[in-house]
Amino acid sequence: MDHAPSWRAPWHPRGTRGAPTRKRGSRGSRGSTDSAVRHAWGALPAFLTLTVAGSLSAQQPAFGPLTTEEGAPLYRITFVPTMERAEVVERGALSVDVWLGLSNIFEQDSSETHDLFVDMERLLTAVTVRWGVADDLELGGRLTFETAGGGFLDSFVVRYHELLGFGQANRDRFPSNAHEERLGDGDRLLIEDDGPRTLGLDDARIFLKWRAAASGDGRSVLSFKTVGWLPAQSNRVGERKANLALIGLARVGVGSWYLHGLLGAATTRAAPELDAIVRRASTFLSIGVERSLGSSLAGVVQYQIAPPLLHGFGHRELDGVASNIVFGLAGRWGESWSWDVGFQEDLPADTPAIDFTLGVRVSRSW
């Protein structure tokens, strides 16, 4: 920010005027955050051991990566990438993907100049169509629909966080299964959600993906993707703007293992009212490890990171790095159907990333 007003926001969510806030990342204390990190990372060796023990020695095709994207409201005011296969559909082929991502979100953070409160559940429904227009070239489009409201998962999330020692931040001071979203800088709101929505069109994307290189056996692939992002809703304060992204996707196969990667950058043209707090560009990185579990099943672990999108707050939970760990299963039915199921959790907890998302994708090709 160019200057920082000395006053604080005159509004406080749901009767919390004067109540102190705790950092969400602390979820009670720095010790609990460290404990959460140890719990999450400690589960990885067990997960990998199980996948190795149940796998077949024969080489299998890749079924991953898991379909994931950052769902945090602060990041979705501009383009966010989706982790996907490096492969393209063959010439003349058609593929349709349907992905559902159910997220539970709670954020109550403050800085010297701003206050943020987000309490909601959201279901993203993404429909993607891909067509092989030429050898090594895929043309596609995607529509994303949003259903948002108070939800029903708060009690489950509380028990889940208590089980893993994550803590609850200030969840217990607010009603369960409520819906509210706003970011203010004193006497005005920068972002405000005006109420629940059912299958509202969130955005549209058009893309072109080119397979630049592939190994002789097709197990290792490098491709590049250009995406045009067209918002369909305002942020309730000002109109969002279209953005452009360039993404590199890679897959490397070694024995029964696959390594997946995504690296890209995008413009972040937001509403003029947000110019002072939104950076001009963003970058993102995702990596994943896949292990075959059979002829039609694989286990996958992924980690994704997005550098700060916002700036000027001086507050890690508002303009810090968003990072998530994702784990799940991917597979196929016959020759035409594929699927994946993934669970995404922010790690470490004191980031502006979404609390958690359960994602399911089903794909059919012709």
d(CA 220, CA 252): 4
pLDDT at 28: 41
Percent of residues, the chain, with pLDDT higher than 90: 42
pLDDT at 70: 82
pLDDT at 90: 95
The answer to whether residue 10 scores a pLDDT higher than 60 is: no
The two structure tokens encoding residue 87 = 């492969």
pLDDT at 277: 80
For 114-129, write each residue's pLDDT tens digit. Answer: 777 777 788 999 999 9
d(CA 127, CA 225): 18
The two structure tokens encoding residue 187 = 């006497």
CA angle 246, 249, 250 (to 5 degrees): 155
Mean pLDDT of 213-237: 88
Tell me which long-range contacts 245-248 makes (C-beta under 8 A, separation of at least 24).
245/79, 245/81, 247/81, 248/222, 248/223, 248/224
Domains delineated in the chain: 20-365 (2.40.160.40)
For 34-57, write each residue's pLDDT tens digit. Answer: 554 555 555 565 555 445 444 444
The answer to whether residue 223 scores a pLDDT higher than 80 is: yes
Mean pLDDT of 189-216: 86
